[in-house]
Structure 1
Amino acid sequence: MAAAAPSLLDYVGECVPFARAASGIQIYGDAWTWWGQAAGRYRRGDTPRPGAVIVFARSARLPLGHVAVISRVVDHRVVMVTHANWSRQNGERGHAEQDVTLTDASPYNDWSAVKVWYRDRDGLGSTIYPTYGFIYGIPESHGPRARTAAELTGRSPDYVGALIDAYR
């Protein structure tokens, strides 16, 4: 009998390899570079869709940026993401987290700035992070679509909790 394949959610490491494995989008390099690298290769936009990758810009807090995969769209300003290397678990970073609340904090409702649920605070963090937008797993040319991982979202995500966190 073959051993069971490791779960994507058992991953420990950086956000980039995790996002690539979870989304199927084949981009390499620091997270903040994904937006520019996607130009001409994958469709991009400012509307969240399941399986899309949101790209966080470089900032003092995120010198390499960050990438996370949209697992669920809750409403026009609240989504759930599955990502790695954000909150600490058992005192260490790098672990994967599934269905984490992320809210649009931009003044024009265009997802150019977000707040992220943070395990250490057990709620949305207070920091607003600038983002570039969403990379969709749809090639600009006639190539195959990116295939998202089956484990991208849980069986029963906490939609109510996500909305409570977002609108507190």
Structure 2
Amino acid sequence: MLSILTPAPAHAQFYQCVAYAREVTGVEIRGNANTWWGQAEGRYQRGKAPKAGAILAFKSMHGMPAGHVAVVAKVLNDREVLLDHANWSSRGRVEHGVRAVDVSPEGDWSQVRVWYAGIGDLGTRTNPTFGFIYPDSRPAPVYADAAPHKARGSLVSQDVIQLAMLER
């Protein structure tokens, strides 16, 4: 029997949620989505309030063992946002303006339901989250090794610290 192979069409780039979130926000975190919340501590501000451009960090759960991250595209109200994210409704696909609703009893975004293309509505499962990571709000640097001295303005690099110590 003779079989003929036909070429398959080229597919768009395959995205994991972390690669997509990193690319659109500029956040400098790597690894599985369920590690982003912990990695953000001390590097980026974190909180429970949605803001456009923030990253919503999902916890691990059955069916989502590596967690998930999504970028807030727009805040609709205190319990509803639109998300941009990848690898949710279908493998590697990027989705824009996806509805997400805070269903937590306390209104703290610790539990959400997210629109799922397979049913054309909010998904049936409740997804636990850590909260929001704010990419454009890095904490101020702390220089624990700098000895107290006369005020000289802010220290911006290790070279400045070393020069300040030599001036004593």
Bin the TM-score by the shorter chain: 0.7 to 0.9
Match of 1:103 among 90, 98, 101: 101
| Structure 2 counterpart of 1:128 | 126
Q: Which runs of 5+ in 1 are unaligned?
A: 1-9, 143-168
SS of structure 2 residue aligned to 1:132:
strand
Note if 1:26 corresponds to 2:28.
yes
SS of structure 1 residue aligned to 2:108:
coil
| Structure 1 counterpart of 2:138 | 139
User: For residue 81 of structure 2, what is the amino acid of its counterpart?
Assistant: V
Greater Rg by CA: 2
Listed as ranges, the matches of 1:1-168 within 5 Å are 11-88=13-90, 93-137=91-135, 138-141=137-140
Aligned residues: 129
Contact 1:50/1:70, CA 8 A, preserved across alignment: yes
User: For residue 139 of structure 1, what is the amino acid of its counterpart?
Assistant: R
1:63-89: per-residue Cα shift (whole Å, max 9, x none)? 00000000000011000000000012x
**Alpha-carbon deviation of 1:141?**
2.1
SS of structure 2 residue aligned to 1:139:
coil
Residues in 2 aligned to 1:127 and 1:65: alpha-carbon distance in whole angstroms: 14
CA RMSD, 1 decimal: 1.0
**Alpha-carbon deviation of 1:17?**
0.5
State TM-score, norm by structure 1. 0.75
Q: Which runs of 5+ in 2 are unaligned?
A: 1-11, 142-168
Residues in 2 aligned to 1:127 and 1:16: alpha-carbon distance in whole angstroms: 21
